Amino acid sequence: TLKTEFMPASDNNDIAMTVEMPTGTRMELARETGHKIAQMMEKQHPEVEIVSFAVGQASDDNAWAAMQDNGSNILSYNIRLTEAKNRKKSIYDVSDELRTELAAMPEVHRFRVMPGGGDMGMTGGSNVAVEIYGYDLTETDKLAADLKPKLEAIAGLRDITISRKDYRMEYNIVFDREKLSLNGLNMATTANAVRNRINGLIMSRYREDGEEYNIRVRYDEQYRQSIEDIENIMIYNPMGVGIRVRDVGRVEENSSLPQIDRKDRQRIVTVQGTIYKRALSEIVKDVNATLASLDVPPGVQVEISGSLEEQQESFSQLGLLLMIVSLLVYIVLASQFESLTYPFIIILTVPFAFIGSLLLLSITGEPLGIMGFVGLIMLVGMVVKNGIVLIDYINLNRERGMSIITAVV
C-alpha cells in the first residue's frame, strides 16, 4: 500500500517547545521554572547549543506558539541543536527525551515539543487534529477528554493536546435593577464604576528621560481580592450618596472558559498531536478507526483536519497542475510534429513512468509527499524528452527504408 504524507520529515536542528503551568501561576514563579528547565536542558543534553524562552508572550521564531493564547503561566521555548553531523542523536530522539523529562516535573501542567521549530508543515512538523463541533460545552469537553487517551494509544502520535483552556474562577456581579433605580443608579454607570475600581483608570501620564508612563488609579490589591472586597466597593450616585455593591446586588463565584473558539460560526474544540516517525496516511487510518468506535452525542460533529486537510488541498492542486502540464505538452508536441498521433504516443508513456515510481515507493515503504508529487510533475518532462528522441529516431529509420518493426526495435 502506498503511504502518503504532507511534508517529509527533516532534521533542521530547531525544536520549539511550549510549557504550560497551572492557571494563575505568577509570572515570577513561571520565570523561575523556565530557567530551571533551560538549565536542565543545557546540562543533560550536550546536543543543545542555544536555549531561549519567553514568559507570557511567545517568541516570533516560534510560529506555532505565537498563534496560541499567551498568559503568565505559559513558557515558549526555542531550542537550537548542534549540526546533525556533529551529534549522535536525531532531533526526534532529543525531543522524546525532553518529553520524558517534562512529564516527570510536577509543576508542569502540560507541554508540547515540536521538532522543526514549530513551523508546522514546512519543516516536517506534521500534525493530526480532530475537530469537535458542538454548542454544548459540557458534551464537547467530555468527548475531547475521552478522545485524548485513545489518540495517545496510537503509535506515531506525540503530545496530544486539547485546544480548549482550563476553566478559570471569576466573580460575577448580579445587580438588582429595582434597587439600582431606587438609589439613583443604572446598570451601565454602576458596572463602569466597579470596573474602574478593580482594573483602574488612567488619570494622567508621567514623562521622564523621554519615556512616558501611565498613571493608573484603582483600589489597592488587598481591597480587591475576595467576594467581600467586591461587595464593599463604594459607588456614588449623582447626588453624591455612597452605596455599596452588596446593597444593590450580589457577587457570585463561577468558573468559565477564558475564550470559546469558533470555526464557521460553530463552537469548536480541537484535539491534536504531532506525528512522529510514521506516515500521515497510516496515522489517519488509525484515527478514523478510533473515531468510528467513539460514542458521539447528537448535535456534535467530529472531523479530521490538520496536515491531512493541507495535504488533500495540495494534492488536489498539484493533480490539476499535472493535467494542465500534460495538456500543454501535448499541444506543443502536436504543433512541432504537425501530427496528433505522435504526441499521443509520447504522452501515453507518462502513466507507465508514474506506475514505476509509485510502485518503487510502495516497495521501499517511503511515503509520497509534496516533494514527491513535484518530482512526478518533473518526470513528465523527462519522459516526454525521451519520447521525442525515440520517435524522432524511429522516423529517421523509417526514412532510411527500415520496416516499422525494425525501426522501433
Q: Which domains does the chain have, with CATH numbers?
A: 14-164+266-306 (3.30.70.1430), 168-256 (3.30.2090.10), 339-408 (no CATH)
113 forms beta bridges with 17
Greater confidence (114 vs 9) lies with 114
Q: What is the pLDDT of residues 282-320, one digit of tens each?
A: 888 888 888 888 888 888 888 888 777 777 888 888 889
Q: What is the pLDDT of residues 70-107, one digit of tens each?
A: 567 888 888 888 888 888 888 888 888 888 888 888 88
Greater confidence (390 vs 72) lies with 390
Neighbour count for residue 408 (Cβ, 10 Å) = 12
**Please, are residues 175 and 249 in contact by the beta-carbon 8 Å criterion?**
yes
**Please, are residues 70 and 58 in contact by the beta-carbon 8 Å criterion?**
yes
Three cell numbers written together for 118:
514549530
Three cell numbers written together for 122:
514546512
pLDDT of residue 66: 45
Three cell numbers written together for 232:
464593599
Q: Which of 66, 47, 156, 45 has its CA nearest to residue 118?
A: 66
pLDDT of residue 265: 85
The 3-state DSSP composition of the chain as helix, strand, coil percent (nearest 5) reads: 45, 25, 30
Full-model pTM: 0.66
pLDDT of residue 394: 82
